[in-house]
Amino acid sequence: MKHITLLLATFLFITTQAQIDINKSLKDAKKKADNTLKPKGGDKGLTNDEVISGLKEALTVGTNNSSSLASKADGFYKNPAITIPFPPEAMEMKARLEKMGMKKQVDEFVMTLNRAAEEAAKDAAPVFTNAIKGMTVGDGFAILKGADSAATGYLKEKTSVELHDKFKPNVAAAIKKVDVTKYWTPLANAYNKLPGVTKQNPDLDEYVTQRALTGLFKMIAVEEKKIRKDPAARVSDILKKVFK
């Protein structure tokens, strides 16, 4: 009888302890889940609407600032971080032409590529703004808890294809406006007449489009980091609340 009583007591102890462990595990899991929904270092009182509103405003501010800076004269050309160089696939051409005494023409061509990007960037802000509207609550909390460039990464991932399709016609128009071909055609013709060289005719519209978008995203990432790190960059009450 004593053995039976001891076994029952042991069983009850194990069962009770198991229930305690289960309850603790459930409690820990709930706490962890709750924590994932809290803004990193932010106000626990933030609503979903406030988070999304703040992030959308941050991206809008960042894209507007970036587009404005990039579209100014020398916004690309004299910014080492985003300046558009001579097409990489034609670097041999560049070297040969410079040896032939055409460095000035090469430099003028590079300048016009950047002028085209600067011109196209004038129309970039509305495109970015429209792309920001589809952000979900889940996206918002993931961005808020993410790295310093998480919002930029989200924007790039979600909109690159659409932005490219909308941006390229602007680049093409800008290339015509600053007359890139006026500088490119003589360079290409001079090079292509040389014996034994591979003929060069890069897609300048595509090249400038890709480089311009890459440059803009780099600048947006810089603006995002400012908003996250620098209180002075938080230009509205919602930004101050979400990113405090």
Statement: residue 91 has pLDDT above 80: yes
> For position 50, what pLDDT does the model report?
81
> For position 22, what pLDDT does the model report?
41
Statement: residue 99 has pLDDT above 70: yes
User: What confidence tens digit (pLDDT) does each residue in 134-155 have?
Assistant: 788 788 888 888 888 888 998 8
Contact 57, 51 (CB under 8 A): no
Tokens of 92: 């041999």
User: What confidence tens digit (pLDDT) does each residue in 150-197 have?
Assistant: 889 988 888 788 888 888 998 999 999 999 988 999 999 999 999 988
pTM above 0.85, yes or no: no
Matching residue, tokens 């950047």: 114
Mean pLDDT for 72-85 is 96
Contact 209, 173 (CB under 8 A): no
Mean pLDDT for 189-212 is 91
Q: Name the residue among 183, 55, 166 with its Cα closest to residue 115.
A: 183
**Higher-confidence position of 120 and 44:** 120
d(CA 131, CA 215): 18
Backbone torsions φ then ψ of 134, nearest 5 degrees: -85, 10
Query: What does the domain layout of the chain look like in residue ranges?
Result: 1-36, 43-242
